Chains A and B, each alone.
Chain A
Amino acid sequence: MKKLLSTALALGLTTGAAVAQDEVTLQLQWVTQSQFAGYYVALENGYYDAENLDVTILPGGPDIAPPQVLAGGGADVMLNWMPSALAARERGLPVVNIAQPFVRSGLMLTCWGDVGITEPADLAGHTVAHWFFGNEYPFLSWMSQLGIPTDGSDGGVTLLQAGFNVDPLLQRQADCISTMTYNEYWQIIDAGISPDELVTFKYEDYGVATLEDGIWALEENLSDPAFVDKMTRFVRASMQGWAWAAENPDDAAMIVLDYDETGAQTEEHQLRMMGEIALLVEGGDGTLDPEAYARTVATLLAGGSDPVISAEPEGAFTSVITDAALAN
């Protein structure tokens, strides 16, 4: 008994020493894939260690809403699309954008070329399959700006709630489907469809792009200087990871594959995804561009009868952390 106790004590002391690092838990918004390469690179290459951080990365999935995890105390910081985060903020969960590694949107609408859709206004009367779970906001905003109803009324778009695969398009149950430049689009191509058979509309090209994959934390935590300091180091190390990933996309994709505990990801898909992701983060240093923020908010407010957010958010982002992170 005595021996057991002393062993336990010794164990406690050694782990106590190791825990001197600050713990940070990051909630991703999807499964482990190259979309999150920067964070895995920072972990693998020891950038977090160098900042004295012990970072745990929690993969997401189809049924995980990151804001809910944050609200429940399951994570310190989350990745989220701005529309979903701002909607959560309006719902009473005060989240604040502390950094924005993605400067461009990868969201697209991909349609069959033979159904008579050549521009977004042609979508009226067609069927569109979309993911929901907070990802539908940019589409709803866009349609409402074009004056196309999405509530199933005549002359509108018939919306289907699809799973996170491209089967509804392949089965022609839908004429169009939402895709990401780095993921679903390539699933269509991999299914043997030639790009010539498809028409693709990038949100970025139509001025309705909303910011994706920002880093968000709870407002109440940001009044604590220790937390701000921890986040500053986290953002600095993460951006270092992103810079490395953009320069070494192939190695970054391999690091991601190593961290994929499900073993579901393939090398080819991850390498290609990393290439596309590099385009989205290119030229960004983590600072949120106020213009892109204003455009996102304007898009979301322009949601017609059913806007994503009803009032201009206040204090939804801060540059304190990125300023500090970039200063040294």
Chain B
Amino acid sequence: MSAGLAQSARRSWVVPAIGAGLIALAALSEPRLAIVLALWIGAWGLNIVLSRGTETAAIRLAVPVIFGLTLLAIWEVTVRLYEISPIILPAPSQIAQAFAANTDILWADFQQTILKGALSGYVMGCGLAFLTALAVDKSNFLQRGLLPVGNFIAALPIVGTAPILVMWFGFGWESKAAVVVAMVFFPMLVNTVSGLKATDAMQRDLMHTYAANYGQSLVKLRLMNALPFIFNGLKICTTLALIGAIVAEFFGSPTVGMGFRIKIEVGRLAMDMVWAEITVAALAGSGFYGLMALIEKRMTFWHPSQRGR
């Protein structure tokens, strides 16, 4: 313990020294680089100092926030100092402006792609996979027949299926939902099937001695034990659904939607708008995932992975 402390004390000057050296070196050859480096090393040092102190809730929040803000600041400063063309990389401030100026368009795109395309496909795909998993679990025949088919569908590349599904289901959100169904079905199926197998023989025997029938032991024992697996599937599928709905729009869409917007704004060289859409997608994806994680926490509070948090 004391050796560790002494070591960290001995090392405490190393990082600042290297940092100062780097900055000085850069200042000689390239002053712009020195500014960027100073920003980076300064924020790094601040985080080190913070994390060495007593850990409070505020600090636990501050460290990642400082990290994120530093990345944004470095991005902004680099773009401005090096006068990078907005066609290659717009500064975060320009993206924020585009975001603020186009909230109506972004909202319409969000509704079209996330609410209509991704969410409906997600509900249908995951629901269908769940029901299929129950059937697969009950019947060995289906298990041997359906799982390979599910695997096959999951292996189809989206750039191949999307144009076909657009031709089948039209240009609207329906074809996007179909792509999402194809994308989320298999991960959800596999997770649920393994979840249903998660109970061991002793537990099932116990239910049997209680004279529980299939339904009772399914609801009271096996589905409960499958929940962590099911939620794994649901969480993986949130991001898959988003990717599916956005990419499917590249292959045909009405003149609204996040994928559509990203595609045409790239063509129009309005990269600030493209990044604004990316921001929406990132926020929606994190929110969607977070929501699932929250529900999981509520429903599987008894599981070891959820304890102690």
Would you call A57 an interface residue if the criterion is a C-beta within 8 Å of the partner chain's C-beta atoms?
A: no
CA distance A65 to B171 in the complex (A): 24
| Contact B254 A168, beta carbon cutoff 8 Å | no
Most chain-B CB neighbours within 10 Å: which of A136, A151, A161?
Answer: A161
When the two chains form their complex, are residues A67 and B252 in contact, meaning their CB atoms are under 8 A apart?
no
Please tell me if the beta carbons of B269 and A132 are within 8 angstroms of each other in the complex. Answer: no
A68-B87, A173-B170 given as contacts; is B267 within 8 A of A161 (CB)? no
The segment from B13-21, B202-210, B258-266 found at the interface with A is B258-266
Which residues of B217-263 have CB atoms within 8 Å of chain A's CB atoms? 249, 251-256, 260, 263
Q: How far is it, in angstroms, between the C-alpha of A159 and the C-alpha of B254 when the chains are bound?
A: 6
Which residues of B49-82 have CB atoms within 8 Å of chain A's CB atoms?
none
A160 surroundings in chain B (CB, below 8 A) = 171, 252-255
Chain B contacts for A136, CB-based, 8 A: 264
- Whole-angstrom CA separation of A87 from B267 in the bound complex: 10
Chain A nearest CB: distance from B168 CB in Å? 9
Count of chain B residues near A, Cβ 8 A: 24
Cβ-based interface call for A91 (8 A) = yes
Query: A81-96: which have CB < 8 Å to B?
Result: 84, 87-88, 91-93
A88–B87 CB distance below 8 A: yes
Residue A259 is within 8 A (CB to CB) of chain B in the complex: no
Query: CA–CA, A8 to B260, complex, Å?
Result: 50
Instruction: Indicate if the CB atoms of B87 and A161 lie closer than 8 Å.
Output: no
* Contact code string A127-138 (vs B, CB < 8 Å = 1, else 0): 000001111100
Contacts of A210 in B (CB 8 A): none
- A66-80 residues at the B interface, CB under 8 angstroms: 67-68, 71-72
Q: How many Å lie between the Cα of A87 and that of B270 in the bound state?
A: 10
Q: Which residue of A lies closest to B271 (CB)?
A: A68
Q: Does A287 contact B (CB under 8 A)?
A: no
Report the separation of the CA atoms of residues A167 and B171 in the bound assembly, to the nearest whole angstrom. Answer: 12
Please tell me which one of the listed residues B88, B171, B266, B270 contacts residue A72 in the complex, with CB atoms under 8 A apart: B88
Chain A residues 236-257 with CB under 8 Å of chain B are none
A87 B268 Cβ-Cβ under 8 A: yes
A171 surroundings in chain B (CB, below 8 A): 167
Pairs A-B, 10 closest by C-beta atoms: A133-B267, A134-B267, A132-B264, A71-B87, A159-B255, A91-B269, A161-B253, A160-B171, A88-B269, A71-B85
